[in-house]
Amino acid sequence: MIPPIANRFVAGEHPAVALEHARRLNDRGVNAILNLLGEHYEDRESAADDADEYRRLIDDIAAAELSACVSVKPTQLGLDVGEDVFRELLAAVVSHGRKRDVFVWLDMEDHTTTDATLEAYEELAREHGGGIGVCVQANLRRTRDDVERLADVPGKVRFTKGAYDEPASVAYTDKTVVDRELLSLLEYAFAEYDGAVAVGSHDPAVIERAIALHETYGTDFEIQMLMGVREDTQYELASEYEVWQYVPHGDRWKSYFYRRMTERTENITFAARAVLGR
Ligand code: FAD
C-alpha cells in the first residue's frame, strides 16, 4: 500500500486504482495520462513485462471508455538493454494503442537517451500517422533544433522545463534561462506547429503565455500537470481548456516520490504539515 503523503502523488500500486482515479478525474472534466512506474531495466524480461502491462492498461482504458492515455519511459521499455529491444517493445505498445485508439506518450529521460527517443518517436509517428507523442526539455541546449525538426512529424510534443540534472556542456543550468527558453520554444511551436501543442508545466507564467499564444495563433493546445500538484488549478482550467493529469501507479513508487519531494519546497512543506497534523 502507498503510505499517506506519497499517495498524494501516486494513485496506488495496482492498475485498478489508477483506472478508478482516471474515472474520478474524467467526472471532473480532467483527462488522465497513466504511467506505470519503472525505469532503467537491465534485462529484457522486466522491460517486456512492463510492455505487456501497458498493453493490458490500454485494453482496460478502452473497455472502460475512459478519456485516458499512457506515458512510457524509454529505459522502462529496454533502452538500457539495447536500442533494438526498446524499438521493438515500443512499437508493440504503440500499435496496440492505435488498435484501441489510446494515445501513447514517450517520456524523456536524461540527455544520453534523447537521440534514441526522438528517432523512435519520429519513425513510429510517421508509420502510424500519429497516436504518439514525445516530451522535450527546455533545459537542453539541443532542444530548439529538435523542436524545429519535429514540426512536420504527425505526432504531438509535450514541452517541459526538464527534470534531470544535466551537465552545463549540454544544458542551461540557470533556472531563469530555462524558464525563458521554455516560453520561447512555446512561441515557436504555437506559431509553426499544425497539430496541438502540449504544455507540461505547473508554472502560472507558462500557462498564461500558452493561453495567450493559443488566442493569438489559434493553435490547439492541452495543459498537462502531475497528480498532487496544483490540483485545484487543474479543475479550474478544465472548465475552459483541455487538461490532462499525469497519474503514476505501481510498486516502484519510492524514487518517483523522492523526486517530487526534492523538486519543490512546497511539496516538502506539504509533507511536513501532513506528518505534524497541521
Ligand atoms: P517549476 O519551475 O517547478 O515551478 C514554477 C512555478 O510553478 C512555481 O514557482 C509555482 O508557482 C508553481 N508550482 C510548481 N510546483 C508547485 C507545487 N507543488 N505547488 C504549488 N505551486 C507549484 N520532465 C522530464 O524531464 N521528462 C518528462 O518526460 C517529463 N514529463 C512531464 C509530464 C508532465 C505532465 C509534467 C507536468 C511534467 C513533466 N516533466 C518531465 C517535469 C518537468 O520537466 C519539470 O521538472 C516539472 O514540471 C517542474 O517544472 P514546472 O514547469 O512545473 O515549474
Quick check: 259 pLDDT over 80?
A: no
Q: Which of the four pLDDT bands, split at 50, 70 and 90, describes residue 277? A: very low
What residue owns the CA closest to ligand 1's atom 51?
201
CATH of the domain at 76: 3.20.20.220
Residue 225 CB–ligand 1 contact under 6 Å: yes
- What average pLDDT does the segment 101-117 reach? 98
Residue 208 CB–ligand 1 contact under 6 Å: no
pLDDT digits (tens, 9 = 90+) for 206-253: 999 999 999 999 999 999 999 999 999 999 999 999 999 999 999 988
Give the integer Cα–Cα distance in Å for 151 and 43: 34
What residue owns the CA closest to ligand 1's atom 14?
202
pLDDT at site 278? 42
Active site positions, annotated: 107, 158
Quick check: 39 pLDDT over 90?
A: yes
Residue 224 CB–ligand 1 contact under 6 Å: yes
Cell of 106: 514517450
* Residue 206 neighbours by CB under 8 Å, 6+ apart: 179, 182, 183, 186, 199
Q: Which domain holds residue 23?
A: 4-276
Residue 200 CB–ligand 1 contact under 6 Å: yes
What residue owns the CA closest to ligand 1's atom 10?
203
* Residue 262 neighbours by CB under 8 Å, 6+ apart: 268
Q: 244 C-alpha vs ligand 1 centroid, how far in Å?
A: 14
Q: 209 C-alpha vs ligand 1 centroid, how far in Å?
A: 15
pTM for the model stands at 0.95
pLDDT at site 253? 81
Helix (H), strand (E), coil (C) string for the chain: CCCCCHHHCCCCCCHHHHHHHHHHHHHCCCEEEEEECCCCCCCHHHHHHHHHHHHHHHHHHHHCCCCEEEEECHHHHCCCCCHHHHHHHHHHHHHHHHHHCCCEEECCCCHHHHHHHHHHHHHHHHHHCCCEEEEEECCECCHHHHHHHHHHCCCEEEEECCCCCCCCCCECCCHHHHHHHHHHHHHHHHHHCCCCEEEECCCHHHHHHHHHHHHHHCCCEEEEEECCCCHHHHHHHHCCCEEEEEEEECCCCHHHHHHHHHHCHHHHHHHHHHHHCC
- Number of structural domains, the chain? 1
Percent of the chain predicted with pLDDT > 70? 95
- What average pLDDT does the segment 103-125 reach? 98
pLDDT digits (tens, 9 = 90+) for 134-179: 999 999 999 999 999 999 999 999 999 999 999 999 999 999 999 9
Higher pLDDT among residues 148 and 268, named by residue? 148
* Residue 116 neighbours by CB under 8 Å, 6+ apart: 74, 79, 83, 86
- What average pLDDT does the segment 69-79 reach? 98
Q: 47 C-alpha vs ligand 1 centroid, how far in Å?
A: 27
Encode 34-62: b = buried (16+ Cβ within 10 Å), e = exposed.
bbbbbbebeeeeebbebbebbbebbebbb
Q: 138 C-alpha vs ligand 1 centroid, how far in Å?
A: 12
